[in-house]
Amino acid sequence: MTVRFGGLVALDDVTVQAQVGEVLGIIGPNGAGKTTLFNVICGFVRPTRGSIVYEDKEIPRIRPNSLTKRGIARTLQGLGLFPKMTVLENVMCGAEALAKVGMGPSVLGMARVRREERDLAERAEQILNELGLSGFGDRIPSSLPYALQKKVALARAMVSKPKFLLLDEPASGLSNDEMDELGQRITDLKGSAGLLLVEHHMDLVMAVCDRIVVLDFGRVIAEGTPAEIKSDPVVLEAYLGEEIEGENYGPVVSSAGES
């Protein structure tokens, strides 16, 4: 795909391929086009050129409102939670809309809507439990510590049981312990899904990704296993002058001449 914003080429003939059972890392300096790539996959941004092939079918354009139906879910860079809804309501929003109201106000129809809503609430609660958030369902997101709010955002993406889960900087703002827990969760999730991970924390990326695509100025400059990417001079060059986050990446930053 190619994406142009006016004169700016955010993605320049980029191809990525993801599959269930795999964590695909997408890394690159700020402004490289990582979020734009997610936005195209989710239908928020229309590519100037290119298309998405999903389960062997070419999809001219994915509509944001059909994402969960297709089995795709994402978390946003930052939190993107609904501030006036409770934690439970936020998570429930991640599921396909309760759109059976079109059946009309028959007693049977209403009963069905209620049952579906109850089932969804149960599933949302179950995921909150899994993530260690039981008892927080009635809270307003902003009343929770940041790390827990990140988990609410993850729960919202997980509630639709997606086949593909797109995570945009899920580790930002987390402590090392919280990041380890997230890494474990990502590894667990790939048992049932394909994950696309945009992340600046290289320790996490290298630990959980099966493959990594490196973007720079909208182009793929490298692609390979974590071991290959780690030692690729082209990648290190692209990151010069930019802080790479991760305990084991100090030397890269200092070789960039940063104080």
Ligand X SMILES: Nc1ncnc2c1ncn2[C@@H]1O[C@H](COP(=O)(O)OP(=O)(O)O)[C@@H](O)[C@H]1O
Question: Which positions from 19 through 38 interact with ligand X, judged by CB under 6 A?
Answer: 28, 30-36
Q: How many residues bind ligand X (CB under 6 A)?
A: 11
Q: Exactly one of 5, 78, 97, 234 binds ligand X (CB under 6 A); which one?
A: 5
Q: How many residues bind Mg ion (CB under 5 A)?
A: 3
**Residues 227-259, buried b or exposed e (16+ Cβ, 10 A)?**
eebbebeebbebbeebebbbeebeebbeeeeee
Q: In this structure, what token pair is assigned to residue 135?
A: 């008892």
Estimate to the nearest angstrom the gap between the alpha carbon of 74 and the chain centroid.
4
The angle subtended at Cα 142 by Cα 139 and Cα 146, nearest 5°, is 110
Query: In this complex, which beta carbon is closest to ligand X, that of residue 36 or of residue 149?
Result: 36
Determine the interface stretch with ligand X among 5-13, 102-110, 178-186, 238-246 (rule: CB under 6 A): 5-13
| Closest distance to Mg ion from the beta carbon of 154 (Å) | 17
Query: In this complex, which beta carbon is closest to Mg ion, that of residue 35 or of residue 149?
Result: 35
Question: Terminus-to-terminus CA distance in the chain, angstroms?
Answer: 38
Q: Exactly one of 35, 68, 75, 160 binds Mg ion (CB under 5 A); which one?
A: 35
Strand 72-75 versus strand 211-216 pairing type: unpaired
Q: How far apart are CA 105 and CA 227, in angstroms?
A: 59
| Closest distance to ligand X from the beta carbon of 27 (Å) | 9
Determine the interface stretch with ligand X among 4-12, 82-90, 106-114, 205-213 (rule: CB under 6 A): 4-12
75 binds, among ligand X, Mg ion, none (CB under 5 to 8 A by kind): none
Q: Using the Cα atoms of residue 246, residue 251, residue 252 and residue 253 in order, give the sign of their dihedral.
A: positive
| Closest distance to Mg ion from the beta carbon of 33 (Å) | 8
CB 156 within 8 A of CB 10: no
Question: Which positions from 76 through 95 interact with Mg ion, judged by CB under 5 A?
Answer: 77
30 binds, among ligand X, Mg ion, none (CB under 5 to 8 A by kind): ligand X
36 binds, among Mg ion, ligand X, none (CB under 5 to 8 A by kind): ligand X
| Closest distance to Mg ion from the beta carbon of 110 (Å) | 43
Instruction: Tell me which H or E stretch contains 26.
Output: strand 23-27
Ramachandran area for residue 254 (φ above 0: left; ψ -120 to 50: alpha; else beta): alpha
Question: Residues interacting with ligand X, by CB under 6 A?
Answer: 5, 8, 10, 28, 30-36
